[in-house]
């Protein structure tokens, strides 16, 4: 293993971009037997001024990789709770849109859907600032600052006096709400070894995927009983609980920041100004920030794997939010559902997601552990098993066809909900497999690849719903959803392409992006 490969491997273990925060120096490499290490020990370095974990490295309690299971899962529990609340805000408000239109005297249907999807536009822009800030200041304070501001703007949305204020506050609300989605995967990577990461990622992913589904269930009855503003009061209360829990129970997990704090303390105690963390970057902070902003864009447009993966996930995400923003209108007009009852139509979508969550949370980790036990090479393509991804990719258009034509002809409401359950199952399989694949495929630039994915899917998730009601009015529910189904069907070859030719694409020099 050469120095570059060692650097990439260590960065992947630590959950950050290798070229930014890892600084591996030449030195004696210690074997796992000598150190008793449970993770690869690349090099301890020979510089006496270099600050590293206390020896033995695998016993240092300050290293998040060495935390107890209870402490690790406690951190993940707090993170998962916050990650559930912020996506909840994207759709809990949806059943109240007709009341908002009435209160503010709005007649524009486009604006009616935009007030829901504008939140996701904030999700698109937030990562561009949050991701580089996390590489400079770490996770802990970024989580807490964003949590506090998330509560503030939940209250601001509830106090909005007109549609302009509500749209503006919803956008800013989304910017701060995207924080746990942007760096949550990095937090898990800080603590969990690779072979256990899939299950932890699946639990953390419950929030981003199920929050928008179950939000309208509670929101529907809440809006019916108390009015649309109460959806924001409830969000403020729930996120306030998460904010308090984050302050008192969360800890910093980002290795470069932890070691930098240790180096600063030792410089003060020893009066030795030359002490520095082994993970300290030689790149100026301004350059780190600018490079981290530009890198996701370069990867999105210049790397075929990132481009196609992000495009597939973005289309799937856009379809999901188009359904979110139109369910209320479709089921109220076609089936006469009340504001409270219409929230229940989101449940089958969530049930489909829960079923696939159980599969994706265990299957890929078992595949990797099995290959490790047999001494076989583990490759990123193991995250997209053909026997799972192919049926799921085909099930997405099937679910859309069922939903569209059964609502078109007003077949009993159970029929379209079966279609949405199929859609939910397929969407989560696609999301999880593509997300974990680009993390494993770009170990050196995993954080930037995820940022590119988040930005594009959030943009499409916010913009595609704007055409939903007009499309249904023009084409009808049958052909409108069929159009979405044909689009999803055209993208089915993408995961198959990666499963078969992914290794060649990753290794081909023509597709290497200079970052």
pLDDT tens profile 105-130: 877 767 777 888 888 888 888 888 88
Of the two residues 380 and 10, the one the predictor is more confident about is 380
Task: Give the pLDDT mean for 210-222.
Answer: 78
Look at residue 398 and tell me whether its pLDDT is greater than 90: yes
Look at residue 408 and tell me whether its pLDDT is greater than 90: yes
pLDDT tens profile 456-470: 888 888 788 878 888
Task: Give the per-residue pLDDT at 491.
Answer: 92
Residue with tokens 């600050």: 51
Task: Give the per-residue pLDDT at 445.
Answer: 66
The answer to whether residues 250 and 238 touch, using CB atoms and an 8 Å cutoff, is no
Look at residue 478 and tell me whether its pLDDT is greater than 50: yes
- Report long-range pairs for 233-240 (Cβ below 8 Å, ≥24 apart): 233/154, 233/155, 233/158, 234/92, 235/85, 235/88, 235/89, 235/92, 235/154, 236/151, 236/154, 236/155, 236/158, 238/85, 238/88, 239/82, 239/85, 239/86, 239/147, 239/150, 239/151, 239/154, 240/151
Look at residue 12 and tell me whether its pLDDT is greater than 50: no
Look at residue 206 and tell me whether its pLDDT is greater than 80: no
| Least confident piece of the model among 100-104, 148-152, 157-161, 386-390 | 386-390
Task: Give the per-residue pLDDT at 400.
Answer: 96
Look at residue 201 and tell me whether its pLDDT is greater than 80: no
Look at residue 65 and tell me whether its pLDDT is greater than 50: yes
Look at residue 496 and tell me whether its pLDDT is greater than 80: yes
What does the block give as tokens for 120?
């996701």
- pTM for the structure as a whole: 0.76
Task: Give the pLDDT mean for 387-406.
Answer: 92
Look at residue 448 and tell me whether its pLDDT is greater than 80: no
Task: Give the pLDDT mean for 380-404.
Answer: 88
Look at residue 13 and tell me whether its pLDDT is greater than 60: no
Q: Please report which confidence band the pLDDT of residue 25 belongs to, taking 50, 70 and 90 as the band edges.
A: very low
Task: Give the pLDDT mean for 282-307.
Answer: 82
Task: Give the per-residue pLDDT at 116.
Answer: 82
The answer to whether residues 233 and 225 touch, using CB atoms and an 8 Å cutoff, is no
Task: Give the per-residue pLDDT at 469.
Answer: 81
Alpha helices per DSSP H over 227-284: 229-249, 255-270
Task: Give the per-residue pLDDT at 441.
Answer: 79
Per-residue three-class SS string for 130-193: HHHHHHHHCCHHHHHHHHHHHHHHHHHHHCCCCHHHHHHHHHHHHHHHCHHHHHHHHHHHHHCC
- Tell me what the pLDDT averaged over the chain comes to: 82
Task: Give the pLDDT mean for 198-211.
Answer: 75
CATH architecture of structural domain 67-251+285-506: Up-down Bundle (1.20)
Q: Please report which confidence band the pLDDT of residue 513 belongs to, taking 50, 70 and 90 as the band edges.
A: confident
Of the two residues 113 and 471, the one the predictor is more confident about is 471
Task: Give the pLDDT mean for 484-493.
Answer: 94
Q: Please report which confidence band the pLDDT of residue 361 belongs to, taking 50, 70 and 90 as the band edges.
A: low
**Percent above pLDDT 70 for the chain:** 89
Of the two residues 457 and 212, the one the predictor is more confident about is 457
Look at residue 360 and tell me whether its pLDDT is greater than 60: yes
Distance CA 489, CA 247 (A): 45
Task: Give the per-residue pLDDT at 46.
Answer: 60
């Amino acid at each position: 293993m050469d120095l570059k490969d060692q650097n990439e491997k260590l960065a992947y273990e630590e959950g950050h971009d290798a070229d930014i925060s890892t600084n591996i120096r030449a030195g004696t490499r210690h074997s796992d037997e000598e150190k008793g290490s449970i993770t690869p020990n690349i090099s301890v370095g020979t510089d006496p001024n270099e600050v590293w974990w206390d020896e033995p490295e695998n016993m240092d309690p300050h290293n998040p990789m060495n935390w107890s299971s209870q402490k690790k899962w406690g951190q993940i529990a707090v993170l998962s709770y916050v990650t559930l609340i912020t996506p909840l805000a994207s759709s809990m408000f949806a059943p109240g849109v007709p009341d908002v239109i009435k209160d503010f005297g709005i007649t524009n249907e486009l604006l009616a859907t935009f007030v829901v999807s504008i939140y996701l536009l904030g999700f698109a822009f937030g990562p561009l600032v949050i991701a580089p800030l996390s590489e400079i200041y770490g996770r802990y304070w970024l989580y807490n600052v964003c949590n506090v501001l998330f509560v503030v703007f939940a209250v601001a949305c509830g106090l909005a006096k007109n549609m302009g204020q509500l749209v503006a506050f919803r956008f800013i609300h989304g910017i701060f709400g995207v924080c746990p989605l942007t760096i949550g995967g990095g937090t898990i990577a800080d603590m969990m070894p690779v072979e256990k990461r899939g299950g932890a990622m699946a639990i953390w992913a419950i929030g981003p995927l199920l929050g928008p589904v179950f939000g309208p269930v509670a929101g529907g009855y809440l809006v019916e009983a108390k009015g649309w503003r109460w959806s924001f009061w409830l969000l403020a209360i729930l996120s306030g609980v998460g904010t308090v829990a984050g302050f008192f129970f969360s800890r910093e997990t980002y290795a470069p920041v932890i070691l930098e704090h240790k180096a600063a303390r030792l410089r003060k105690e020893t009066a030795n100004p030359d002490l520095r963390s082994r993970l300290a970057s030689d790149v100026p902070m301004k350059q780190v920030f600018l490079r981290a902003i530009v890198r996701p864009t370069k990867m999105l447009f210049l790397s075929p794997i990132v481009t196609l993966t992000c495009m597939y996930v973005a289309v799937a995400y856009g379809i999901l939010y188009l359904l979110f923003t139109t369910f209320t209108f479709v089921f109220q007009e076609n089936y006469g559902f009340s504001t409270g009852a219409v929230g229940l139509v989101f449940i089958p979508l969530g049930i489909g997601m829960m079923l696939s969550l159980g599969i994706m949370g265990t299957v890929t980790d078992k595949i990797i552990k099995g290959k490790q036990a047999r001494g076989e090479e583990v490759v990123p393509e193991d995250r997209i098993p053909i026997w799972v991804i192919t049926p799921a990719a085909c099930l997405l258009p099937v679910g859309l066809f069922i939903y569209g034509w059964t609502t078109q002809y007003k077949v009993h409401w159970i029929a379209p909900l079966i279609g949405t359950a199929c859609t939910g199952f397929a969407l989560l399989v696609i999301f999880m497999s593509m997300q974990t694949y680009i993390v494993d495929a770009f170990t050196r630039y995993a954080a930037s690849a995820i940022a590119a994915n988040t930005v594009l899917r959030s943009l499409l998730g916010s913009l595609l719903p704007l055409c939903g009601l007009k499309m249904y009015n023009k084409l009808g529910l049958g052909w409108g959803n069929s159009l979405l189904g044909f689009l999803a069907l055209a993208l089915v070859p993408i995961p198959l392409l990666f499963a078969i030719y992914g290794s060649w694409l990753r290794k081909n020099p023509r597709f290497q992006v200079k970052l």
